[in-house]
Amino acid sequence: MIKVGIIGATGYAGGELVRLLLGHKDAEIVWYGSRSYVDQKYASIYQNMFQLVDASCMDDNMEALADQADVIFTATPQGLCASLVNEGILSRAKVIDLSADFRLKDVKVYEEWYKLKHAAPQFLDEAVYGLCEINRESIKGARLIANPGCYPTCSTLSIYPLVKEGLIDPATIIIDAKSGTSGAGRGAKTDNLYCEVNENIKAYGVASHRHTPEIEEQLGYAAGKQVVLNFTPHLVPMNRGILITAYASLTKKVSYEDVKAIYDRYYENEYFVRVLDKDVCPQTKWVEGSNFVDVNFKIDPRTNRVIMMGAMDNLVKGAAGQAVQNMNLLFGEDEAEGLRIAPMFP
Amino acid sequence: MIKVGIIGATGYAGGELVRLLLGHKDAEIVWYGSRSYVDQKYASIYQNMFQLVDASCMDDNMEALADQADVIFTATPQGLCASLVNEGILSRAKVIDLSADFRLKDVKVYEEWYKLKHAAPQFLDEAVYGLCEINRESIKGARLIANPGCYPTCSTLSIYPLVKEGLIDPATIIIDAKSGTSGAGRGAKTDNLYCEVNENIKAYGVASHRHTPEIEEQLGYAAGKQVVLNFTPHLVPMNRGILITAYASLTKKVSYEDVKAIYDRYYENEYFVRVLDKDVCPQTKWVEGSNFVDVNFKIDPRTNRVIMMGAMDNLVKGAAGQAVQNMNLLFGEDEAEGLRIAPMFP
Amino acid sequence: MIKVGIIGATGYAGGELVRLLLGHKDAEIVWYGSRSYVDQKYASIYQNMFQLVDASCMDDNMEALADQADVIFTATPQGLCASLVNEGILSRAKVIDLSADFRLKDVKVYEEWYKLKHAAPQFLDEAVYGLCEINRESIKGARLIANPGCYPTCSTLSIYPLVKEGLIDPATIIIDAKSGTSGAGRGAKTDNLYCEVNENIKAYGVASHRHTPEIEEQLGYAAGKQVVLNFTPHLVPMNRGILITAYASLTKKVSYEDVKAIYDRYYENEYFVRVLDKDVCPQTKWVEGSNFVDVNFKIDPRTNRVIMMGAMDNLVKGAAGQAVQNMNLLFGEDEAEGLRIAPMFP
Amino acid sequence: MIKVGIIGATGYAGGELVRLLLGHKDAEIVWYGSRSYVDQKYASIYQNMFQLVDASCMDDNMEALADQADVIFTATPQGLCASLVNEGILSRAKVIDLSADFRLKDVKVYEEWYKLKHAAPQFLDEAVYGLCEINRESIKGARLIANPGCYPTCSTLSIYPLVKEGLIDPATIIIDAKSGTSGAGRGAKTDNLYCEVNENIKAYGVASHRHTPEIEEQLGYAAGKQVVLNFTPHLVPMNRGILITAYASLTKKVSYEDVKAIYDRYYENEYFVRVLDKDVCPQTKWVEGSNFVDVNFKIDPRTNRVIMMGAMDNLVKGAAGQAVQNMNLLFGEDEAEGLRIAPMFP
């Protein structure tokens, strides 16, 4: 039985970790960390867990936690994990960080985009970027996993094969992303009130969103050179789901079958990536609650561009689900344990 | 392995049966019946099932199905199951009917409220009303299960204990119910278009909804006499969920603790009924995707009434989940097999 | 030109006052009061008003305001208006209070339900309850208007005629109400976040909501005696709209035509109350953005009850629209000036 | 008084025409055409118009209509207007066609993208594309107006100035558009059911949507050469609103102020186009119910692209509002008559 501690268990990603781990046959949550609700019954905050979780919330004490847990998930704001982690902790427990602290290898890039001094740059080299479909082998032996951001997961998996194969010009990549509101977290802000989000759509963080360098870094590995791109997120009136629509110019004449064959080759053994049938556009509802990413593409011969699309549940494959997938790899479990959940429709 | 056939597999309740049965360790779907989509890939209709279900849709041939399946679910409009079922079929397979055909014992009441001639009244006596928490023992030996309606399930479970204990006057019961839109089915009707339902709430079927006599019959068993009540359903802009708010006059002076003790006594061994803590109102979101019914109550000393509340997912406990629960009872399975799903939030 | 000052101009009701008054041919807003946003451009808070409102927000200074305005709207939390109003202010400007401070004639009832000491009980007698359809004549000469609550407006207008005519027994009245989320205000609370409200419905304030005594008082005037009733509000995932479904026992045998004739008689000259055709249920969407209240009823001969229904936009007839209607009466304007807005659909 | 006839009065755009024209001081609707509801009360279809519209629906008889009306709006599927219009009609009444029949000057392009034979190509030359901000003078004298599509209106107004000024390379334009569901019309299709659209987002018509050539033609006039671009619409779970996010490469080094000055110059006298302040992203909710288009832009120096954004109500400026604006121009009215409606929030 893997003993699991969660720091930030009452945020939306933390709550999703609890939901998923309750269905995992080899994991047991021993610590529901939540600074804001210490000593309150976890199920009084998330009533969906009434009679399923009996524990109360505990403080964010990573030192104490490292003694009791085999793995620690940090589902907390940027900066917290880096400020808490140290050699002693990493020698006792695996750490899967759902924040951005260890996703970018270049500390300067982190500090520039996040406007934060990095508290533990010494672990940046060691940390493994936990995009399982791409870094599976390195993940297995890691101590510290940087769980990918929601937008970067969906964007990278949708675009990576065509960059890697040199089929698109990386300098032409434009990613237009749409996210449900759970991605904004559970903080009580006016902007996230029901009446402000409902019946509304807007772009935000235009040309400045922090997930931009993360996507650029990952696609840069595929391209073998630096990638600079446009990424524009939008807030959509729905709870869950991310859809990305990406555009890039083709570097050569290709047919539908050519491109389909590439996606199939990259993902034929990937349970969680579904390459859809011709002309079927991904929809966030078709993956809701599951760890799947649905991808597809369309070639536009008029403009010589390819439109790449990906849909995913931002709280599952975009956060908690991928974190559990990483945990499974770290502990030699079946990678899909606890994650064989069919999407819920409607 | 229980071999399952579904007639009406492409409606919302049918789709939910597929989702739940995929997670059942001892069940296998052998027939995806859907008259409208014969020979089309099931996963092309419900893309959430892409790569999870490979089968194509088949006709609604109950005779053929009875040879291949151990149990047949009919998730079809009123009248169809009654027109297809017969002794030969029942002798070969169990039938769990999600329509209303076998819910009302009195054929005259059925024909009056449903404006349909009943095609198989000879099975009304034999059919067992599949409200597991109340009829568990009779269900176990049955051949034909009348799976309860969504509103009646939520209403009956919320009110039953206080009627049975004589704590409320049945003649004063008023049920004000609110349902998500999946309850209206997947038929293409103007009234159910997104723009007609969104940002809107309305009552419908006022003083004439067909679930009224079903609730009255069940509460009548508890009261030991005929019950006549008001039931008003409302359409709410959300996909899933039913909330009922019921009112009745108390027959004697009781304290919170008295009433709580009754609910606890009736449901302490019922995994799927959760009696909430004092002053916590049931919310549909807290049970979404699960087979739970959350119930609670509030005494109003000013009016000497008790307000009873219940929340449930209409497609799970209100349809497919309860049908699987019935199947488990019929085949000697753990009653919760395939149904230990934590509610999804948000 | 009526010079208007608004205290609380950046709440949802305040914002709606601005929207409506911009369309009023004889009114001009001279003061956009908002403690939280002093000196910020009003249109930077409510971007819908970009290029329509040039003013900046000002403090909640009622004394200064009384010198500049003919009428002051207070769209503020309970207690504020009572704490600011005084003889000097009332002698210079009319005050229309959208809070509950002057709605209840009995100060003890106010203090018990609102858990607040009333700061200006000396004006309770003078204040006129601004339900225009019922108190039109008294409103015309008033200095201080208690603008009715949203639920009480919809409930009273839906039920009043049948109580007044003695057709229903007031002791049997049960009001089950459903409201959009703008009724909860613009405060940044976790409970009102998009992800908490969306795809969810719940009751709240069961047997304890503060609008209960307000409805009881108004229906009490109709009954000629004290009325005690049940009122249960529910939060619905939509921005605007209130629907009430009310139940009461009939005191005598009546036909549809009898009851319809009563509603018609009470409302035939009321522009803003629409008695719908037989069997048409009120829907909140049909009145969105307008000052209309749609009412209808259904007799249930089985239970000898009548079900009364009313739909309204909580921010218009339930707040700002009724406030403008009151202003029109106070200043001898056409009562519907600025309010002849057709509902927007969809 | 302008006598108005509407063909297709019970679609969403038709309904919006009715709402807007009821508030127009010089217009009177004399014909509510709706083939599907002939002889039914208009207000029984659109209950928001109860007691506001007394008329019944009439057939789509354009010949009869031309005798009674000064202007005919056709809010009907593609092909109908072209099949009905003729010289006799145009000599008696102005025609404002809300369908696509007369938007594209090249009949071959029309027939290729719409898969329809054009029934009246002889009027293509005469028809004026009714984008008022750009073609104001030609509109004034026209007999036949091609009211622009929703996406083209928002896209063209957002992008036009920078193409016209040569600041962006037209070959690099990519438009990612998001629309509320009313754009899909009121037809009863499974895809537009509440449960299919709610909590979901998807792209559709990828690289094949019919509004593509319309946008290309209009931007082509600005560029002075043929423009080929990518346009991808998405369906968003909301009733109203279109947001476009457009990307293009800058042709020279420009500052924020340079670009802002261009937008200001083009739109400073345009009441309905609001160029927002720096860093304020357009949101559909801020224009809901109004005829405004909110535009803004952001320069990304990292990629040398400019991101252009526009938000609009698809049923108003994207359909009925713009049609009324065209009518005002045709009849010498104040261009904003009936359209000075403040957006509704929330």
Q: Which of A182, A190, A195 sits opposite C195 (nearest CB)?
A: A182
Cα dihedral B330, B331, B336, B340 sign: negative
The chain D residue lying nearest C295, using CA atoms, is D50
Dist CA D31 CA D47 (whole Å): 18
What pLDDT sits at residue A18? Answer: 98
Catalytic site residue A281? no
Rg over alpha carbons for chain B, rounded to the nearest Å, is: 20
Q: Does residue D92 belong to the interface with chain A, where contact is any CB pair within 8 Å?
A: no
What pLDDT sits at residue B181? Answer: 98
Q: Which of D48, D199, D280 sits opposite C342 (nearest CB)?
A: D48
DSSP B240: S
Q: Does residue B252 belong to the interface with chain C, where contact is any CB pair within 8 Å?
A: no
What pLDDT sits at residue A108? Answer: 98
User: What rounded mean pLDDT belongs to chain B?
Assistant: 98
D203 Cα to chain B: minimum distance (Å): 15
Strand A174-179 and strand A242-249: the pairing is antiparallel
Query: Which candidate in B16, B19, B47 is best for mutational testing of the A interface (most A CBs within 10 A)?
Result: B47
CB contact under 8 Å between C193 and A198, yes or no, is: no
The chain A residue lying nearest D289, using CA atoms, is A199
Dist CA B82 CA B76 (whole Å): 11
CB contact under 8 Å between D284 and A202, yes or no, is: yes
Q: What percentage of chain B exceeds 90 in pLDDT? A: 100
Tell me the C-alpha to C-alpha distance, in Å, between residue D92 and each of A5, A26, D58, D88, D325: 78, 80, 20, 7, 20
Confidence of residue A326 (pLDDT cuts 50, 70, 90): very high
Confidence of residue C84 (pLDDT cuts 50, 70, 90): very high
Are C37 and C57 contacting, i.e. CB atoms less than 8 angstroms apart?
yes
Q: What percentage of chain C exceeds 70 in pLDDT? A: 100
CB contact under 8 Å between D286 and C44, yes or no, is: no
The chain C residue lying nearest B209, using CA atoms, is C300
Dist CA A316 CA A330 (whole Å): 18
List of residues 6+ apart from A277 with CB closer than 8 A: B44, B50
DSSP letters, A53-98, are: ---B-B---HHHHHHH-SEEEE---TTHHHHH--HHHHHHSEEEE-
**How much is the average pLDDT of B68-76?**
97
Whole-complex ipTM? 0.98
Rg over alpha carbons for chain A, rounded to the nearest Å, is: 20
The tens digit of pLDDT for each residue in B87-104 reads 999 999 999 999 999 999
CB contact under 8 Å between A201 and D207, yes or no, is: no
Helix (H) or strand (E) holding C4: strand C2-7
**Chains in contact with B via at least 3 Cβ–Cβ pairs below 8 Å:** A, C, D
Are D344 and C316 contacting, i.e. CB atoms less than 8 angstroms apart?
no
Q: Does residue D192 belong to the interface with chain A, where contact is any CB pair within 8 Å?
A: no
The tens digit of pLDDT for each residue in A57-79 reads 999 899 999 999 999 999 999 99
What pLDDT sits at residue B182? Answer: 98
Long-range contacts made by residues C272-281, C-beta under 8 angstroms, separation at least 24? C272/C132, C272/C133, C272/C317, C272/C325, C272/C336, C272/C339, C273/C133, C273/C157, C274/D50, C274/D51, C276/D47, C276/D50, C277/D44, C280/D47, C281/B202, C281/B203, C281/B204, C281/B206, C281/C309
Q: Does residue B182 belong to the interface with chain D, where contact is any CB pair within 8 Å?
A: yes
**How much is the average pLDDT of D179-205?**
97
Contacts with B, D 45-64, CB within 8 Å = none
Query: Which candidate in C17, C40, C41, C50 is best for mutational testing of the D interface (most D CBs within 10 A)?
Result: C50
The tens digit of pLDDT for each residue in B163-183 reads 999 999 999 999 999 999 999
Helix (H) or strand (E) holding B159: helix B150-164
User: What rounded mean pLDDT belongs to chain A?
Assistant: 98
Q: Does residue A164 belong to the interface with chain D, where contact is any CB pair within 8 Å?
A: no
Dist CA A304 CA D256 (whole Å): 31
Tell me the C-alpha to C-alpha distance, in Å, between residue B246 and each of B307, B308, B322: 6, 5, 22
What pLDDT sits at residue B49? Answer: 98
Owner of token pair 């050519």? A258
The tens digit of pLDDT for each residue in C211-221 reads 999 999 999 99
Residue B246 DSSP SS3: strand
pTM: 0.98
DSSP B211: H
The chain A residue lying nearest B23, using CA atoms, is A341
Torsion of CA D266, D271, D274, D275, to 10 degrees: 30
User: What rounded mean pLDDT belongs to chain C?
Assistant: 98
- Which residue, among D170, D150, D148, has the nearest Cα to D159 in the 3D structure? D170
The tens digit of pLDDT for each residue in B199-209 reads 999 999 999 99
Torsion of CA A325, A329, A333, A336, to 10 degrees: 30
The tens digit of pLDDT for each residue in B320-337 reads 999 999 999 999 999 999
What pLDDT sits at residue A168? Answer: 98
Confidence of residue C102 (pLDDT cuts 50, 70, 90): very high
Dist CA D242 CA C70 (whole Å): 40
Residue C193 DSSP SS3: strand
The span from the first CA to the last CA of chain B, in angstroms, equals: 34
What pLDDT sits at residue B316? Answer: 98
Are B157 and B310 contacting, i.e. CB atoms less than 8 angstroms apart?
yes
CB contact under 8 Å between D199 and A283, yes or no, is: no
Dist CA D217 CA D232 (whole Å): 17
The tens digit of pLDDT for each residue in A256-312 reads 999 999 999 999 999 999 999 999 999 999 999 999 999 999 999 999 999 999 999
Q: Does residue B239 belong to the interface with chain A, where contact is any CB pair within 8 Å?
A: yes
Confidence of residue B123 (pLDDT cuts 50, 70, 90): very high
Q: Does residue D234 belong to the interface with chain A, where contact is any CB pair within 8 Å?
A: yes
What pLDDT sits at residue A309? Answer: 98
Give the start-end residues of each E strand in chain D: 2-7, 27-33, 71-74, 94-97, 128-129, 144-146, 174-179, 202-203, 230-235, 242-249, 273-275, 293-300, 305-312
What pLDDT sits at residue B298? Answer: 98
The tens digit of pLDDT for each residue in C306-326 reads 999 999 999 999 999 999 999
**How much is the average pLDDT of D140-157?**
98
Contacts with B, C 270-299, CB within 8 Å = 281-285, 288, 298-299
**How much is the average pLDDT of D17-35?**
98
**How much is the average pLDDT of A74-103?**
97
D149 CA to centre of own chain: 4
D95 beta partners: D72, D144
CB contact under 8 Å between D241 and A206, yes or no, is: no
